[in-house]
Structure 1
Amino acid sequence: MSFTVTLRPSGHSFEVDDDERILEAALREGFAFPYGCRNGACRSCLGRLIEGEVDYGPRKPPGLSAQDIESGKVLCCQAVPLSDLELEVRDIGAARDIVVKILPVRVVALERLNHDVMEMRLRLPSTEQLTFLPGQYIDILLKDGRRRSFSLANPPHRSEYLELHIRHVPGGHFTGSVFGGMAPKALLRIEGPLGAFFLREDSERPLLMVAGGTGYAPIQGMIEHAMETGVERPIHFFWGARARADLYRHEQVRAWADAWAPLSYTPVLSAPLPADDWSGETGWVHESVLRAYPDLSAFDVYLCGPPAMIAAAEKAFLARGLPEDRLFYDSFEYGADTLEALQSDDGDVG
């Protein structure tokens, strides 16, 4: 048995097979749905149920609150229709022409950026190219069938290789191999580009970009793309980390801000070390944003980083006037298999 999902406001519709999730069906039918982790945690695929009924199985997805349910919100990556549906979702038309591919890649360089972040550079076959939007991510397909997701840190115009920023998780299977001596010429398989976190270029509003840790990676791609294409609207980048060493491209960003008028840069440390001799902003990065911009009603905001940062910033920013449809985020969630592995001290970032 199948059900029809009708999207609002576009009026487009597609069929969802029995026991199939809404997002799976939408992607199969070529619809550009917003999504991120695909395991019910990051909330990127949140839509509003106008009519119909859905089911999530025995356990409610971690990214869906009781308040969400009461207000008719639905997580499309986990929801299975129980009837025909009318669903309101955010349009991401810019991604419609992007082709998702599975490709072999070769590791051409591994460079430590600090104590726990590695830059990995991947080269595509000479006969292939990957068209993507600044901020999207790829999945590395492991031999055991698992996946590891990493944001593309390079902008589309800098495409001689794909650049990933990989944080080491102690005991992690994949990150352990990256930090434990992976051969520079190793062969991997990837799928991408994926995700709905990318720079929207149809807006003239000023931009606030907020990153935590390696959430800097997709922001780097966005900023480089904005510089290359001559964006003139103001961009203020806030980068939150624990200590100075965690701001692994601090000098690069400062140089960009000094040389390019639209860009401002505010680094924020939550636990600076005495040796850091830090006189800049401290505390939580989203609180630093609000000190600088008490009213967010006129901005577009891009967030990328750990789940706790995303959740706190989303709540605080919406309360300060940011329209929900001007908040774009990518939560660096762990996949379900990785969460289980971490509980036994064997997992890596997903």
Structure 2
Amino acid sequence: MTIKCEVTSVSSLTNNTYRILLKPEQPVSYKAGQYLLAVMGEKDKRPFSIASSPCRQNGHELELHIGAAEENAYAMDVVKAAKATLEKGDNSFVIEAPHGDAWLREERQRPLVLIAGGTGFSYVRSMVDHCLSQNFAQPIFLYWGGRDASQLYANDEMEALALKNSHLTYIPVVENAPEAWNGKVGNVLEAVMEDFVSLSAYDVYIAGRFEMAGAAREMFCNERGAERDHLFADAYAFL
């Protein structure tokens, strides 16, 4: 469905990561973990995970987290389009939504392992918010990986959320750690492998590059007993 949106906010989360808030002209019905397409042209539609939960304002507000360094025109063009719409004050930012089959299977009520690299966090953030707002009781393990601590732009917020919710375990992982770093160091998939002897009882949701999703499926299924139909990632539609 094509929907026109107002842009109510464009703010910086890090030096090259932006938070965009959209007000669609009609409420968008979607599931936690789905994405939208930013329509830049008739044949130019760019996917971004919806970071907000479906229960936020009943689909009247959508949140995006976009990693957009200046050299990354694919993402930066969308940020610039959002800023232009904000300045004009109209509803000329066009999206198509919802999309994606890697949405949260909440009816299964299995314990969850959520894994994100970089701004893939927006995908799992929608799921965490939804699970907590709906008072789901199953254990949730959230692994968020980045090159360094600055990429984990919501780290303090997630640590506080885990302290308030005993069934949420948050594990930040960085490749290059500062001296005062209290989280794990290294590859986010390896961190999961270290912590779980078996993943057979879990539903696993993964947001990251195609090669990351492919490696996760191979490692988790071959070495940790995960079942392929219990692993979810948008990348799997193409792998």
C-alpha distance in 1 between matches for 2:43 and 2:146? 32
Q: Do structure 1's residue 303 and structure 2's residue 206 form an aligned pair? A: yes
Q: Do structure 1's residue 167 and structure 2's residue 67 form an aligned pair? A: yes
C-alpha distance in 1 between matches for 2:34 and 2:117? 17
Contact conserved, 1:215 with 1:332, CA < 8 A, in 2?
A: no
Contact conserved, 1:305 with 1:332, CA < 8 A, in 2?
A: no
User: Which among 111, 116, 131 is matched to residue 11 of structure 2?
Assistant: 111
C-alpha distance in 2 between matches for 1:168 and 1:230? 34
Deviations 1:59-97, CA, capped at 9 Å, x for gaps? xxxxxxxxxxxxxxxxxxxxxxxxxxxxxxxxxxxxxxx
* Equivalent residue number for residue 133 of structure 1: 31
Deviation of residue 173 (structure 1)?
A: 3.7
C-alpha distance in 1 between matches for 2:229 and 2:126? 22
- The 1:174/1:287 distance shift into structure 2, 3 A limit, reads closer
Structure 1 residues 2-13: aligned runs within 5 Å = none
Structure 1 residues 174-323: aligned runs within 5 Å = 174-178=74-78, 182-183=83-84, 184=86, 185=89, 187-272=92-177, 274=178, 277-319=180-222, 320-323=224-227
Aligned-residue identity in percent = 32
Contact conserved, 1:304 with 1:332, CA < 8 A, in 2?
A: no
Deviation of residue 308 (structure 1)?
A: 2.3
Deviation of residue 189 (structure 1)?
A: 1.1
Give me the TM-score of the superposition, normalised by structure 2.
0.90
Deviations 1:11-34, CA, capped at 9 Å, x for gaps? xxxxxxxxxxxxxxxxxxxxxxxx
Secondary structure of the structure 2 residue equivalent to 1:270? strand
Secondary structure of the structure 2 residue equivalent to 1:191? strand
Amino acid at match of 1:108: T
How many residues of Structure 1 are paired with residues of Structure 2 in the alignment?
A: 230
Deviations 1:251-278, CA, capped at 9 Å, x for gaps? 1111110001210000000123x4x632
- The 1:111/1:332 distance shift into structure 2, 3 A limit, reads farther
C-alpha distance in 2 between matches for 1:179 and 1:204? 36
C-alpha distance in 1 between matches for 2:232 and 2:20? 26
- The 1:122/1:179 distance shift into structure 2, 3 A limit, reads closer
Contact conserved, 1:152 with 1:164, CA < 8 A, in 2?
A: yes
Contact conserved, 1:118 with 1:167, CA < 8 A, in 2?
A: yes
Amino acid at match of 2:202: F
Q: Do structure 1's residue 155 and structure 2's residue 53 form an aligned pair? A: yes
C-alpha distance in 2 between matches for 1:120 and 1:221? 14
Which of 1 and 2 has higher RCO (CA within 8 Å, sep 6+)?
2
C-alpha distance in 2 between matches for 1:138 and 1:305? 16
C-alpha distance in 2 between matches for 1:331 and 1:241? 19
Amino acid at match of 2:35: Y
Q: Output the aligned Cα RMSD.
A: 2.1
Deviations 1:115-162, CA, capped at 9 Å, x for gaps? 11101111111xx21100011001111135311101100001113411
C-alpha distance in 1 between matches for 2:21 and 2:236? 20
Structure 1 residues 59-78: aligned runs within 5 Å = none
* Equivalent residue number for residue 43 of structure 1: none
Secondary structure of the structure 1 residue equivalent to 2:233? strand
Amino acid at match of 2:187: W
Secondary structure of the structure 2 residue equivalent to 1:317? helix
Q: Which of structure 1's runs of 4+ aligned residues deviate more than 6 A?
A: none
C-alpha distance in 2 between matches for 1:261 and 1:215? 24
User: Which among 321, 324, 337 is matched to residue 228 of structure 2?
Assistant: 324
- The 1:297/1:263 distance shift into structure 2, 3 A limit, reads same
C-alpha distance in 1 between matches for 2:187 and 2:165? 26
